[in-house]
Structure 1
């Protein structure tokens, strides 16, 4: 029963997220590029979308989520284990930012935009999946080599 509640909660949250992305215009690459173009024809409207989202989220977080020691429908909170800023984090952030700037769409809004049928977003999404797969493969190979080296020592 708990898995069903978790999946239904995830489904509703994902639906609300996607609906919000589409209604707010964050799923439109031209809108996002306008927001990122701070030296040109800057469009600040997405800052208001983010601000509005924070105005809803922050009170909910401090009044409902933070006081709880355990999530309602999961075993534990999904929080990052590492707190260090290393080359992997910085290079990943730079590559993510480069992809976001070139495509004008973030992965979350891209997922929402798939329903709109934009061929460019479908190409972006497919490319993103290939990039994720290749990265996971390379990290797995690196971790495997490191564990074999430690075992051999």
Structure 2
């Protein structure tokens, strides 16, 4: 059952990315180009996403637990540390240089968009490298 719900949620998310233009790297790059060919339309997409998410959190967190999990998995850390800064900078560089971030890149891969055949494997390698570095760091902290 949870597989079907997760698949439906992923399809709705991907469809939303396509309809909103977030899966189009040219549109994203034009949004980021405030000194040139600026396209402010994605600001409305982001504001809409914030409104839906804020409303959803208020509604869902009133429940004692999620429907398909024994408990909520909410962030417990609030400090700004090195991994957060490096991850944010890497995310911003990828988004700013190529117009892709992970969700839209995977959606665009399904649309056979140019650039995704390089971006998605590089992203997956980066994710794997980060996981290995975190494992190594955790092992040295225990020693």
TM-score when normalising by structure 2 = 0.90
Q: How many residues align?
A: 143
* Residue 68 (structure 1) aligns with: 63
Structure 1: 4+ residue segments shifted above 6 A: none
Question: Does residue 1:100 correspond to 2:99, yes or no?
Answer: no
Question: Which runs of 5 or more residues in structure 1 are unaligned?
Answer: none
* Residue 138 (structure 1) aligns with: 133
Q: CA RMSD in A?
A: 1.6
Question: Which runs of 5 or more residues in structure 2 are unaligned?
Answer: none
Residues 81-138 of structure 1, C-alpha deviations (whole Å, 9 max, x = no match): 3221112211221121111111111111111111111241121000000111111112
Change over 3 Å in CA distance of 1:58–1:146 after alignment to 2: closer
Residues 17-38 of structure 1, C-alpha deviations (whole Å, 9 max, x = no match): 0011011111000000011111
* Residue 45 (structure 1) aligns with: 41
* Residue 2 (structure 2) aligns with: 6
Distance 1:95 1:58 in 2: 26
Change over 3 Å in CA distance of 1:55–1:139 after alignment to 2: closer
Distance 2:72 2:82 in 1: 26
Q: Which moved more, 1:80-89 or 1:127-136?
A: 80-89
Deviation at 1:60, TM superposition (A): 3.8
Deviation at 1:44, TM superposition (A): 0.6
Map residues 89-128 of structure 1 onto 2, 5 A cutoff.
89-128=84-123
* Residue 88 (structure 1) aligns with: 83
TM-score when normalising by structure 1 = 0.85
Distance 1:144 1:55 in 2: 41
- Structure of higher RCO (CA pairs closer than 8 Å, 6+ residues apart): 1
Question: Does residue 1:17 correspond to 2:13, yes or no?
Answer: yes
